[in-house]
């Protein structure tokens, strides 16, 4: 009679991670158990019996022989609307299905899926992250939310202060390569556009999570959609909170966000899209900016609001689209946590960005032509940056007995013109950006660019481009 004999050996269980240089050798010849608790839920399903007759597909992405229907793509390397296939630049789209399959925890984790995007996280759960494209720096890309610029002109270190949660996202569009003539000087190396879900029905969802080291999180979303006469209405709101004591010294964090969106449409000829969002986070910045200090601290707040209008015909062969937006960024940094005052390395910053613009495009026999105008004003109050204020102009800092003693401001003006030729599988896009920034001088500088692509079939696409751009350096965050 045969009897199964098992090799018995003591197992080694990791209760905490260690970064000691000898840790690897401690497990040689040992059995290591790595355990994970997971809960799976059906978050979405396809109803084959639902009719889609009359639905208009603005863009279609083909992946693995399957077609993914997308809303209008904003980041296509052109100011005129074109599909991903027609785009003369390298554009990748991370779909909602990609996000579900990746089982990502944060938006930063999702961005790692895009080829050419480098994501460097200093803290857990995307507390602070540097995002770059194709070897550039975190200050050389533009971050957009539904086509609205939410980049921090002070520092790209806070590029991941998103006011939306992962559950709010429909898809993410990544544009590789110089895009300054399309989105302004900050898009030196590319752009990332986060597109949120539009409400299509009534619904409520909520989730709660917890884990080791005092980790806790909660997220909720409510939405409604209906039609009344020639108007269609879609409203949604979401909010979330997450915190942790941290798995290593001075790595605790607390963060939250809230987001609201209104989408109205009249007779498929006039659209109103409004959004408002806020994100706040505070965290132990262990050696984030200096290896000498392991007890740094930072708190950042980001508030934003925007209004987009679109007037067009039903076929969208022409469109006039004005845009207005506002961003506020607050930053409180301590070189030594709990120690106040400039001599202790404590800094405060309060930055306002007001902007507006107009984009118009038309499709005609020789292609698609687009013209655009954008102007924004940046104003920062700081304890370390900008020009010294007169004492009578000092501004009190909320929650502190200190005052803002410095101020800096600049106005950025962009005028864009481009034309796109589309002949079968060939696309040629040529344009120019005229930029004036009062932080430099009062002269316009011109940045031309030409992009082309050829698609012999659905599986191949060849690109070539030449662009001239300006890297507008932000004011250093800390001095």
- pLDDT of the residue at 371: 94
CA angle centred on 175, ends 133 and 320, rounded to 5°: 140
- pLDDT of the residue at 135: 79
Could you report the per-residue pLDDT of 12-55, keeping only the tens digit for each?
454 544 555 445 455 455 554 444 443 433 333 333 332 223 33
Confidence of residue 71 (pLDDT cuts 50, 70, 90): very low
* C-alpha count within 13 angstroms, C-beta hemisphere, residue 454: 3
Residue 190 · residue 75 · CB < 8 Å: no
Task: Express the helix, strand and coil content of the chain in percent, nearest 5 each.
Answer: 5, 50, 40
First to last CA, the chain: 79
Strands 31-33 and 11-13, sheet pairing: parallel
Position 318 pLDDT exceeds 80: yes
User: For residues 184 and 207, which has the higher predicted lDDT (pLDDT)?
Assistant: 207
- pLDDT of the residue at 113: 84
Q: For residues 450 and 468, what is the distance between their CA atoms, to the nearest angstrom? A: 9
* Domain range enclosing 461: 33-467
Q: For residues 205 and 306, what is the distance between their CA atoms, to the nearest angstrom? A: 25
24 in any annotated domain: no
Confidence of residue 76 (pLDDT cuts 50, 70, 90): low
Give per-residue burial for 40-55: e unless 16+ CB within 10 Å, then b: eeeeeeeeeeeeeeee
- pLDDT of the residue at 3: 43
Q: Name 282's Cβ contacts closer than 8 Å, sequence gap at least 6.
A: 253, 254, 255, 297, 298, 299, 300
CA angle centred on 369, ends 365 and 371, rounded to 5°: 160
- pLDDT of the residue at 303: 96
Position 312 pLDDT exceeds 90: yes
- pLDDT of the residue at 14: 47
Confidence of residue 234 (pLDDT cuts 50, 70, 90): very high
Position 96 pLDDT exceeds 60: yes
Lowest mean pLDDT among 108-122, 160-174, 255-269: 108-122
Question: Of the segments 88-92, 351-355, 439-443, which one has the largest average pLDDT value?
Answer: 351-355
- pLDDT of the residue at 285: 85
Confidence of residue 477 (pLDDT cuts 50, 70, 90): very low
- pLDDT of the residue at 10: 52
Question: Of the segments 45-59, 177-191, 215-229, 426-440, which one has the largest average pLDDT value?
Answer: 215-229
Q: Name 15's Cβ contacts closer than 8 Å, sequence gap at least 6.
A: none
Largest CA distance in the chain: 97
How many domains are contained in the chain? Answer: 1
Mean pLDDT computed over 124-146? 83
Structure tokens at 249: 């010294």
Backbone angles phi and psi of 134, in degrees to 5? 50, 50
DSSP state of 124: G
Q: For residues 128 and 249, what is the distance between their CA atoms, to the nearest angstrom? A: 16
CA angle centred on 173, ends 41 and 239, rounded to 5°: 50
User: For residues 31 and 288, which has the higher predicted lDDT (pLDDT)?
Assistant: 288
- Helical residues (DSSP H) of 58-106, grouped into ranges: 96-102
Q: Look up the pTM and report it.
A: 0.81
Q: For residues 352 and 154, what is the distance between their CA atoms, to the nearest angstrom? A: 10
Structure tokens at 75: 């980041």
Residue 91 · residue 77 · CB < 8 Å: yes
Structure tokens at 258: 């809230």
Q: For residues 256 and 186, what is the distance between their CA atoms, to the nearest angstrom? A: 27
Nearest to 467 by CA among 415, 432, 419: 432
Lowest mean pLDDT among 8-12, 44-48, 115-119, 155-159: 44-48
121 in any annotated domain: yes
Q: Is 19 left (phi over 0), alpha (psi -120 to 50) or beta?
A: alpha
Backbone angles phi and psi of 294, in degrees to 5? -100, 10
User: For residues 226 and 125, which has the higher predicted lDDT (pLDDT)?
Assistant: 226
Nearest to 223 by CA among 212, 236, 232: 236
Confidence of residue 474 (pLDDT cuts 50, 70, 90): low
* 3-state class (DSSP) for residue 442: coil
Cα 469 to Cα 186, 312, 416, 449: the distances in Å are: 9, 31, 13, 9
Lowest mean pLDDT among 143-147, 232-236, 268-272, 289-293: 289-293
DSSP state of 99: H
Residue 414 · residue 356 · CB < 8 Å: no
246 in any annotated domain: yes
Could you report the per-residue pLDDT of 409-467, keeping only the tens digit for each?
999 999 999 999 998 889 999 999 999 998 888 889 999 989 999 999 888 889 898 88
Position 87 pLDDT exceeds 70: yes
- pLDDT of the residue at 454: 93
Strands 90-94 and 190-196, sheet pairing: unpaired
22 in any annotated domain: no
Structure tokens at 168: 């709010």
Cα 244 to Cα 25, 87, 127, 241, 252: the distances in Å are: 30, 42, 11, 11, 5
155 in any annotated domain: yes
Mean pLDDT computed over 241-245? 93
Could you report the per-residue pLDDT of 249-259, keeping only the tens digit for each?
888 999 999 99
Position 5 pLDDT exceeds 80: no
- pLDDT of the residue at 114: 84
149 in any annotated domain: yes
- pLDDT of the residue at 77: 58
25 in any annotated domain: no
CATH at residue 82: 2.40.170
Quickly count: other Cβ atoms within 10 Å of residue 309's Cβ: 15
Q: Name 6's Cβ contacts closer than 8 Å, sequence gap at least 6.
A: none
Residues of the chain with pLDDT > 90: what percent? 45
């Amino acid at each position: 009679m045969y009897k199964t004999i098992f090799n018995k050996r003591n197992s080694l269980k990791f209760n905490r991670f260690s970064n000691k240089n000898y840790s690897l050798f401690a497990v040689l010849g040992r059995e290591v158990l790595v355990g994970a608790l997971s809960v799976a839920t059906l978050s979405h399903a396809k109803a084959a019996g639902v009719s889609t007759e009359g639905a208009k597909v603005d863009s279609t992405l083909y992946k693995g022989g399957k077609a993914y229907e997308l809303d209008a793509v904003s980041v296509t390397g052109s100011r005129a609307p074109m599909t991903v296939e027609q785009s003369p630049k390298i554009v990748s789209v991370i779909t909602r299905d990609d996000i579900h399959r990746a089982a990502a925890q944060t938006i930063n984790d999702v961005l790692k899926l895009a080829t050419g995007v480098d994501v460097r996280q200093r803290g857990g759960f995307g507390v602070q992250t540097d995002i770059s494209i194709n070897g550039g720096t975190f200050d050389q890309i533009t971050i957009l939310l539904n086509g609205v610029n939410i980049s921090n002109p002070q520092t790209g270190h806070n590029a991941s202060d998103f006011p939306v949660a992962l559950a709010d996202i429909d898809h993410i569009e990544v544009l590789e390569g110089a895009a300054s003539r399309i989105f302004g000087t900050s898009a030196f190396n590319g752009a990332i556009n986060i597109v949120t879900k539009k409400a299509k029905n009534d619904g409520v969802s909520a989730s709660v999570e917890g884990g080791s080291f005092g980790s806790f999180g909660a997220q909720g979303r409510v939405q409604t959609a209906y039609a009344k006469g020639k108007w269609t209405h879609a409203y949604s709101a979401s909010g979330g909170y997450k915190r942790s004591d941290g798995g290593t010294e001075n790595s605790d964090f607390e963060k939250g966000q809230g987001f609201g969106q209104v989408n109205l449409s009249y007779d498929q000829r006039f659209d109103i899209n409004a959004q408002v969002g806020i994100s706040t986070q505070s965290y132990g910045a262990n050696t984030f900016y200096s290896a000498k200090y392991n007890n740094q601290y930072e708190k950042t707040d980001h508030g934003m609001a925007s209004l987009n209008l679109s007037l067009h015909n039903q076929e969208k062969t022409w469109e006039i689209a004005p845009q207005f937006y506002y961003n506020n960024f607050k930053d409180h940094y301590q070189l030594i946590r709990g120690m106040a005052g400039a001599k202790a390395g404590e800094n405060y910053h309060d930055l306002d960005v007001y902007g507006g613009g107009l984009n118009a495009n038309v499709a005609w026999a020789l292609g698609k032509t687009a013209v655009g105008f954008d102007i924004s004003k940046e104003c920062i109050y700081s304890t370390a940056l900008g020009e010294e204020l007169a004492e009578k102009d000092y501004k009190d800092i909320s929650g502190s007995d200190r005052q803002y003693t410095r101020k800096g401001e600049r106005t950025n003006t962009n005028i864009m013109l481009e034309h796109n030729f589309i002949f079968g599988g060939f696309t040629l896009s040529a344009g120019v950006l005229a930029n004036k920034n009062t932080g430099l001088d009062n002269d316009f500088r011109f940045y031309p660019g030409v992009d082309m692509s050829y698609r012999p079939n659905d599986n191949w696409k060849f690109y070539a481009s030449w662009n001239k751009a300006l890297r507008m350096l932000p004011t250093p965050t800390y001095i």
